[in-house]
Structure 1
Amino acid sequence: MKIAVFGATGGTGRQVVEQALAAGHQVTALARNPARLTLANANLTVVTGNVLNAVNVEETLQGADAVVVSLGNTESNPDYIVSLGTQVIVAAMQRLGAPRRIVVVSSLGVGDSKDQVPFAFKLLMKSVLRKPMEDKERQEALVKASDLDWTIVRPGGLTNGPATGRYQSGIDTKIGAGQVSRADVAAFVLKQLTDSTYLHQAPAIS
């Protein structure tokens, strides 16, 4: 496949890129700073630009079979970059007519998964994490409102450990927000690109 990746320099996004390349896929990644994505692989194309720039986004989407969105909030990003960037991506996909498949990395605690996170995290969601979680709420809402073939992946607490293949996933609301490695999340995300099990659904992974 040819996969367009947004948020490729973040922890999970980079794992998506590395694992996709290792599996023989072609990857086009959008990055503000290409130096942060120096991987010696002929199947990797890095587009220099910003996710808020429709021209940059369309260039990244050219020829893609599927899209992975793993945007995150950082100090160097403007407010609501996750939802605003996703809005640009969705609009570009609809304008171009292809690709149709999009897998978005969100978080447990968003939308109807609020009761799947512990009480302490709920308190954080109302204080220091209020704006990032609101950003993800907006992101999920616009993805769900689109006519694209979407899946939203909601991980629990992210770690930098290796891929283990040992995790819980699915739409069972009993899946709590336990720790899961970014590598395992990336593997699950890539699996969704060719699997319609969770089409128009938001599975948890923990």
Structure 2
Amino acid sequence: MRIALFGATGGTGRQVLAQGLANGHQIRALARSPDTLAPAPGLDVIAGDVLDQAAVDTCLSGTDAAICVLGSHGSAQPVEAEGSKRIIAGMQRLGIQRLIAVTSLGVGDSRDQVPGFFRVLMQLTLKKIMAAKEEQERLIRDSGLDWTIVRPGGLTDGPATGRYRSGIDKSIQATRVSRADVADFVLQQLLDARYLRQTPAVS
């Protein structure tokens, strides 16, 4: 497939990029610093910011689906909601229906799937980021697109194992899961409608 990838320079985004190319997909990635992504067959890097509608539209043009793995860190203003707003607008304008976005367990109706200490952390140091993810999910749900929102547990840089739990069962609790395994699950959704307009957990 031809995929528009947003958040390609982040930890999970790099895994989606590497595995997607290895699986034979063509990927167009939007990056503020394109030189941080090594050239590779099947990769087209677009220089730009996800808050710039023109850059987002350029990245989306001619693709079959979009994958959004936007993330925020530290004191920077979170980009998840505003970036997703522009991705959704571009997809609607260009007639692209399939959107797969990665948020987090603890967002929306998955609050009880994370341990108590993380719920406290969400209120103290991650409040802005979690609020941005909440708004991001609302925008996606209201978009009219064919969306799937993937909610991983605590992310690690470990290798792909293939040994992870996934699905919409609320008994799935947030445990540590590698970004590589999350990327594997995300890419599976491109050709699988099982979780269409649903919010599966990965842990």
TM-score class, shorter: over 0.9
Counting only pairs closer than 5 Å after superposition, residues 5-24 of structure 1 correspond to structure 2 as 5-24=5-24
Match of 2:91 among 81, 90, 93: 93
2:104 matched to 1:107?
Answer: yes
After superposition, residues 1-206 of structure 1 pair within 5 angstroms as 1-38=1-38, 40-75=39-74, 77=76, 79-97=77-95, 99-206=96-203
Find the aligned partners of 2:105 and 2:33 in 1 and give their Cα distance. 29
Relative to the length of structure 2, the TM-score reads: 0.98
Deviation at 1:35, TM superposition (A): 1.4
Q: Summarize deviations over 1:6-60 as a string: whole Å, max 9, x none.
A: 000000011000000001110000000011111x322100000000111100110
**Structure-2 separation of matches of 1:41 and 1:158:** 26
Cα shift readout 1:117-137 (whole Å, capped 9, x = no counterpart): 000000001110111100100
Distance in 1 of aligned mates of 2:41 and 2:185: 24
Amino acid paired to 2:182:
V
Structure 1 distance, partners of 2:112, 2:75, is 31
RMSD (Å), alpha carbons: 1.0
How many residue pairs align between the two structures? Answer: 203
**SS in structure 1 at match of 2:124:** coil
Offset at residue 144 of structure 1 (A): 0.3
Q: TM-score, normalised by structure 1?
A: 0.97
> For the residues of structure 2 that align with 1:84 and 1:55, how far apart are their CA atoms?
14
Give the superposition deviation at 1:80. 3.0
Structure 1: 5+ residue stretches without partners = none
The code of the aligned residue for 1:30 comes to L
For residues 159 and 169 of structure 2, what CA distance do their matches in structure 1 show? 25
- Between the aligned partners of 1:155 and 1:47, the Cα distance in structure 2 is 27
1:153-181 deviation line (CA, Å, top 9, x unaligned): 00000000010000000000000000100
Structure 2: any 5+ residue segments left out of the alignment?
none
Aligned-pair distance for 1:76?
A: 7.9
Among the aligned pairs, what percent are the same residue?
57
Q: Distance in 1 between matches of 2:90 and 2:99?
A: 12
Question: What is the distance in 1 between the residues matched to 2:14 and 2:5?
Answer: 9
The separation in 1 between residues aligned to 2:36 and 2:4, in whole angstroms, is 17
